Structure formats: structure tokens, C-alpha cells
Chains A and B, each alone.
Chain A
Amino acid sequence: MKQLFSFFGLLVLLFPQDVFGQEKKLDFFGSGRFVLNNSALSGALLKHDTTTAQKQMTGNTLFDLGFHIRPSEETEIKAITRVSNDINGFWGGGVNFYLRELYLRGLLFKRIKYQVGDLNTKMTPYTLYNSAIELSAHNPLALNTVSEIINYDKFYGTNSWRQQGASADFGFDFEKYLNHLHVSGLITKNRQTDYFSTPDRLLSGLTLQAKAFHQLSLTYNQTNVFDVQHSAMFSLAQFKNQVQTFGLSEQLLLSKINIGINAEMGRSSVSYTEIANAPVIPNGTFLDAGFDVQNKQKSWSAAASFRSVETSFRSMGAQSRRVDFSKTGLEYPYYTNREIPRPANMLDIISDGSYYNMFLSPDLKAYNPAYENMLPYGKATPNRQGGDVSLMYKPNKSFFKLGVDAALYNEITGQGTTSLRQFTNAEAYADLALHELYKGKKKLQMSFYVRSQNTARAGLQGIDKIDLKTTQFKLGVSFEIIPKMELQIAGILLKADGNEYLAQRNSYNEIIFYKGYTAQLNEALWIGGINYQFSKNNCLKIQYQQSNWDNLLLPDNQYKINRFSVLYNLFF
């Protein structure tokens, strides 16, 4: 705390004369938020659960204050502080005050861009990438503020991972054939040593991008995650994970149709040294190639891609998951008289940041097949090969936008059997601006989304047969009552029916056991409320939310959470 005060003291003392006196050398930004959730638990669970409190109130207030300081034309400092106070913290008991973000960036020799401190790191979907997976697609408007808040709080930004370290990039322009060569690199600290047995872990990344003929782009990407030997007193153990990829993209214009071609291929290696009995992990490769086409008016587009990711492909930067199902949430974290952790439901995943992870992990973390089973680690999911196609149609000046996506994948290596899983996924969505249809003055918008994902394995031994069907349906309605004030209604229904086997892995990501998974799960989330939009980045949401979790195979655990929620959010 003293360090923080010292830091701000320095800011105030050092910069006023140079900074406050000159325009645009200092600007302020930030966010403010108030969240109050008052929840009540009901359902069959309470017939047998006498330990869980039935009502809970959670929430907090917080304020972020950020500074952009430009001491010179070529240097910028960004710092954000956060003061937060939990609803349960009275008289300062729950107050947290900390530095949320700090970096310095600038230009060296008028050519090299650099940044030190906090970095939002992102490369390609196979090297360093933060994939949005569970329940993130086409959510209704009633949920947009909570997902914005989670992305803001966890620094997910545009599929990036927040790291601390340094980055630099620079480029060269050429006149013939090769138009531009761009080099960017980063090095970040991924893990802090405990000084005994856990060494420091660093991540380095390099991208070389060459643009030629004004339409062709060739890239080389490399990431290295490695433990720093001698940084822990009692361990010389070292984990290394290297991924190298080559990418190609080309933009063509044929008969007034834009055609984009993208491909990336590469290999990974993992090694463990100075660790007794550590296995030798084979190298893994992947290949991803596809194209997209779009007419000049952008009223329709289509895309198709094929990818194959080998079973042994490991990329810590790309396979780390956002949602960590081993975490417990803020509301009703434990249930039943055995007080077991309550598994995350849809309401938790959509609204509770406690389940979200901010760290790169060397493990292939567990996931819930009811929410996602085909690509639980994003495009870099190992042991998958198949393709996707997607179509989008949005005529100019029309009131609707329609789209369909389909995917068909299968495993490359059987898990526990030679029989392979097959995955099919079909999605369709529609966004309707109905007020444009009947020329109404008040906005009326509706959105629909439906997804069907099936996992099947024929099985050769009877017990290895898998048949899991999941369906998601999302509905959103938004009606403008008066200017700036909307009635928002959202419904999300999920059904998961069938069986699966969930792989349990050791610390080397080797499968050592399986856990049988069976479900006849019906989940429903209904939300209704008012949204008052003070300005583009400033809103008040008052909502009533109802979540029902019912697995027919566990009838005693059926529960419903009714929640009254107030959310005020401001970005400035």
C-alpha cells in the first residue's frame, strides 16, 4: 500500500509542471461500477440440503482511475488504479486498493515501438491466443454489459492474454516484390518462483511478417515457454514448450468478389529435463487452411476451412482456457450436506468473473462437455481434424442478418479405444431490427441463436460407445420504451443428453484415467429487466434473473436461483 501511495505521490510531484500545463500530455480515463445481486435458492435440493444458506447478497462497488501520461512525443505511460469495496465489507473492511495496470511505451530511434510493463499479448490461434469458448456466441443484448465487464476485468480484449514483460516491433519497407517486412517480439514472465521448488517461467514470442505483391503475406511465428534454471533453490527442473508456425494469407479480387486465403501450419515440442520419470513427449504438428469470400457490398459472405491438429500438439499460449471449472463462484459456492463445490451453471459462466482464468497454463484443463465438447481448447484443440463452413447474409438496408455455421470433426487418435469420436456442430442465428420493418419510431430488436452439437463414437467393445447431444437456444428481445430506456428480455435454454468419458490427465498432460459422464441436463436462464443507457459507455441495468439447473439423473440436486440484480456501469 505504501508503495502505491509512493507511486502516486511521484506521479503528482513529478509531472504537474511538465504535464498539466501542456495540453494533451495528460488525460484521465477509467470506469465505475456498482453491482448488487440478491439471490434466493430454491428447488428439490433444499429437501436434503440443510447446510446451504437460501439467500445471499453479493456485490461490490469499484472505481478505476487511469492516467495517460505523455512526458514526450515518443513516450507514453498508462496507469490504472482500482478501489473496490465488497458489499459485505463495512467501514473499510472490504476495501481493496491496488494498481491494476501499468505500462510504458514509446518509440525508439523513430523506428522501434516498445512497451514494458503490462502487455496484452496475442499472436495466432496456434501460438498465443485467448479463445472465447463456452456460451460466448451471439448472446442477447441483456447480457452485453456483463460480458464487457468480464472482458475488461480479465483483460481479454481481443483474444489476448495479459502478461507482464516487454515487447518491441519494427518494420522495413521495400520497393520491389517484397513490400514490407515486420518484426515483433515479446518476452514476459509467466510464473513467479517460490524460491524452493518452482522456478520462474518465461514466455517469449517472435513474429516475422513479409508482405509481397501488395496482397500476399507470409509469416513465421515462434513461441517459447521455458523455466529458468537456478531460479529455485532445490530444483533444476525445466519445462519447455516451443511452437513454430508458418502462415500464409492472400487477398484477391475476382469478379467483384473479395477472396481471402489463409493457412497456417506448424509444430510443437515439449520437454522436461531434470525431472525424474518425466515422459518423452512426441512433437506435434497442425495444419489449418481455409478461405473466405465476400461480395463488394458486404451483403453476403462465406467461409470454409480445414484443420488437423495432432494429438501431441501442445501450445501453452493457445490451449489455456478462459473458464476454469475447478473454481468456485461467488454465489452458493458449495451445496448439499456434504458441501461439495457446486458445478458452474450458465448463470455463473455468463455473469461471475470468479470462474475466469487469467493465466497461461501448461495443463489441458478440464471442461464441461455439456457446454462445449468439440473444440474445448479453441482451434488449437489437440486430436481433432475436420472442417467448418459458414454463411452470412445481410442485404443492404434490410432489417435482418442471417447466418449459419456448420462443422464436422473427428479424432485422430482414439481415447482408450481404437474407435474415434465424431463431432458435428450446426449453428444458426438471426438478428432482426423489427422497427425497420414496420418503420416504427421505437426500436424493437430480436435475436435468435440455436446450436446443436453432437458427439458420437460407435464403439468396438460396447462400453466405449459415446452418444452425447447438446442443444443451445438463445432468444433476445429489446424494446425501446422511451429514448435511452429499453425493456430487455433474454432466454437461454440448454439441453444435454447422453454419455461421455472425460479424460483425466497427469501433470505431463498424459491421460491416466477416465471419468464416466452421463447427463440428462436441462438448464434454463431467463432474464428480464430495464436498461437505461445514459450514454454509449454508461448504463444502468435492473434485472430479474432466473436460473434453473435440472439433471434428471441427479433429481435431488435440482435447484433454481432467483436473482434480483442491479448493475450500474460507466466507462469514461
Chain B
Amino acid sequence: MKKLFLVVGIGTLFFLAGCKKDKTIEGPELVDIFGDFNILEPIKGSKTTVDFSKGETVQYTCKLSIRTNWTIEIIGLNSGARKVYTGNAKDFVLNPIVWDGTISFAPFFRKNEPCVARMSFESYADTLYSDTVIITDVKPTPSVDILFDDYESPQRAYNTFTEGQQTFNGTSVNFQGVSPAEKTRFYVLAGNHGSTASLFLCGMNLTAKASQGTTDNYFKFSTDNPKKVFFNAFIYGWGDNKAEVSIEFQEDDNMDGIYQPAEEGAYTYRLPVNWTGWKLVSFSYDDTKISTSGGFGNSDRTGHKDLDRIIAAQFLLLAQPGTIGNTRVGFDYCSFTYFNPFRP
């Protein structure tokens, strides 16, 4: 019984020692987020004209009564280019949004283009617009480490291929009213498939030699670490949810200048195209997987990825399983960057 009293006594002490109440508040105050919503100062830009080529910026400010999730989209009224900022600050007069002419979604902004900032809110129906800002000159296209192709040269030696009843289109300008992501041209793969056709529709292959315009069979990367090299492509989707893209890098494992698909490896990155408009897709070479098509790059002589042996890149348009009919996909401004994905 003595033991029991001892236990109860110790337990009571533990209980008393454990009871706590903290008078501080964890996190921001709720009233600062869920209080009355008012626009105290509308969104406005700091300039009416801006020359991004000289490094000028536009500063946007706004003041709200509470913190709430908002989105500010700066939209090019001719090109449709968009720069998007999101946040939940209620007062960014002191810390304004600073726009330097870059984009979030292709295409790029154009010279002499009027732009407007649109501010919308996740929890409120209000939409605010700024005054128009005219871009007198654009920011130079950001540099990439290796430009694979910007598709501005239709005479390039593109090797295109298809099978059976599928059709494909080559280099197009303003295909069905679509503006290129960058400059004046982009590449479209299009095809038509029936219910009994294979998922493969058509493809295009471009060698490293043609891409670089030199006699070098391979790309000259400054590193052979697959984790450090990123491939970037602007991909246009028509929103039909039928297309898949497979981007394949063919490695000439024995470095004899000829790619032998039955003996040499090909590494692929495959993604469904389920969006409408341009989207920048980036992945590291480490993210690619060896081809699973028997006799088409599924056997690698070296047994690993060799960036220094990439002899060509191949772009395939595939149909998503269970779909039929026309589908297409566009490519523009494909590049390699080191260490990080391309950030236009």
C-alpha cells in the first residue's frame, strides 16, 4: 500500500508539473487574415513606360485591410505573355512587387507592347487592374548554356518520321493562330490516330551536329554529371488531353559516330501534355529513364548515362492511352542549362 501511495504521489507531482498555459499566440493573428476585407490603396505601377533592355523595372504597390491570398498577373496585351506573382501580404507599399521584364509563362513580352497588371483574390470576387505600362524595349532573352534549337531555321536537317495512317506537320509559324514562345517560329508535331492505331504518332530527330552547326558529333558539356545538366523546352499544349511527349537522348556508346538503336542506349523523359498554352518543361538528365522499347535504345553498352556521347535528341508525339483523333504538340526554345533549370 505504501508503494501505491508513493506512485499516486509521484503521479500527482507529474500532473501538476505538466499543466501549462501559454499566454503568447502562435502564428499570425486570425483577425489579420479573416477580418473585414477592404482595398485601402488600389494596385498601381511606378511607371507608364519601361525599357527593360536598360535594366529598368516597374514597381507595383497595393494596400489591403487584411492578409489574404492574392495573385497578380502582368499580362502582355498583344503577345499574351504573363508574369505571375502570388502572395498574401496586405501592404506592399514598402516592399513592392518588382517586375524586371521576365515571364512566368511564354511567350515573351514584345517591344512596344502595352501591359496591364490584374490582381485577383482567392477568397473574394474583387479584381483590380493597374494602369497600362508600355514596354519600349524588352529584356534580352536570358542566356542558356547550350541552345539545342530555337526552331528559327526551317532548313535544318530535321529527320521526321511517322507510321501508317498518322500524319505530321513540320516547322510552322503561327500554327492555328498560336504565337511562338520565342521569336518567330516553333516546331509542331501533329497526328491523327484511330482506336486501333499504336500510341506512337510521329517524331522528329535532330543530331547534335545539326543542332550545333559544327562538325562535332556530340555536345560539349562542361560537366558529365547527369544531375547537373538540365534540358529545358517550351511545350505548347492544345488542351485536348490526348497528347504525350517523349523526349529521347540517343547515346553513341562506342563513339563511332553512328547511333545503333539495338546496341546503344537511349534515355527518355515522358510526360502527358494536359495543358493549354505554352509551358516551360525542365528536367535533369538524371531524371531520364532508359528506353523500354526492345531494340530501340533499351540496351546500353556502357551501362550508364553518358552526357558526352549524346549524338541526337528525338521528340516523339504519342497518344494518351484510350484516346482517338487529332492531337498535336509544339516545341520552342529547347536548351541545356547547368546546375539549375532555365529561368526566363
Seen from chain A, the residues whose Cβ lies within 8 Å of a Cβ on chain B are 2, 51, 53, 88, 92-93, 194-196, 250, 252, 254, 259, 261, 263, 265, 287, 289, 291, 306-308, 310-311, 339, 383, 385, 412-418, 420, 461, 463-464, 501, 503, 510-514, 516
Contact = CB atoms under 8 A, between A and B. Distances in A.
A310 B20 contact: yes
Given A194-B227, A414-B26, A417-B29, A513 B17 contact: no
Nearest to A261: B7
B33 A416 contact: yes
B125 interface: no
A413 B10 CA distance: 26
Contacts of B25: 413-418
Contact of B31 (A265, A414, A461, A512): A461
A186 B339 CA distance: 34
Nearest to B15: A306
Interface size class of B (residues with CB under 8 A): 35 or more
A414 B22 CA distance: 8
Contacts of A417: 25, 29-31
A252 B67 contact: no
A511 B28 contact: yes
Contacts of A51: 241
Nearest to B14: A289
B31 A513 contact: no
Contacts of A461: 30-31
Contacts of B140: none
A88 B33 CA distance: 47
A304 to B, nearest CB: 9
A511 B225 CA distance: 38
A183 B85 CA distance: 54
B26 A413 contact: yes
Given A93-B292, A289-B18, A385-B20, A510 B11 contact: no
A513 B33 contact: yes
Contacts of B227: 194-196
B14 A263 contact: yes
Interface in B17-70: 17-31, 33-35, 67, 69
A311 B26 contact: yes
15 contacts: A53-B322, A195-B228, A252-B3, A252-B4, A259-B4, A259-B7, A413-B22, A415-B30, A418-B25, A420-B21, A463-B31, A464-B30, A511-B27, A514-B28, A516-B123
B321 interface: yes
B31 A503 contact: no
Given A53-B322, A252-B7, A464-B31, 7 more contacts: A195-B225, A196-B227, A250-B7, A261-B11, A385-B20, A416-B26, A510-B27
Contacts of B213: none
B95 to A, nearest CB: 14
Give 8 closest A-B pairs by Cβ, nearest first. A511-B27, A416-B30, A308-B18, A413-B22, A287-B18, A289-B14, A463-B34, A413-B26
A250 B6 CA distance: 12
A2 B67 CA distance: 55
B164 interface: no
A512 B28 contact: yes
B177 interface: no
Given A263-B14, A289-B15, A385-B18, A501 B339 contact: no
A24 to B, nearest CB: 38
B171 interface: no
B254 interface: no
A412 B30 contact: no
A57 B69 CA distance: 38
A512 B27 contact: yes
Contacts of B160: none
Contacts of B11: 261, 289, 291, 306
Given A194-B227, A385-B19, A415 B26 contact: yes
A416 B3 contact: no
A101 B134 CA distance: 62
B142 interface: no
A10 B294 CA distance: 27
Contacts of A265: 14
Contacts of B15: 289, 306
B198 interface: no
Given A93-B292, A418-B25, A88 B67 contact: no
B4 A514 contact: no
Given A308-B18, A461-B31, A254 B3 contact: yes
A287 B17 contact: yes
B290 to A, nearest CB: 9
Given A291-B11, A339-B274, A306 B22 contact: no
Given A196-B228, A287-B14, A306-B15, A516 B34 contact: yes
Given A261-B7, A416-B33, A383 B26 contact: yes
Nearest to B122: A515
Interface string B315-328: 00000011000000
Given A261-B7, A513-B88, A412 B27 contact: no
Nearest to B225: A195
A88 B321 contact: yes
Contacts of A511: 26-28
A263 B15 CA distance: 11
Interface string B84-114: 0000100000000000000000000000000
A221 B283 CA distance: 42
A501 B31 CA distance: 12
B29 A416 contact: yes
B27 A415 contact: yes
Nearest to B292: A93
B20 A514 contact: no
A306 B7 CA distance: 14
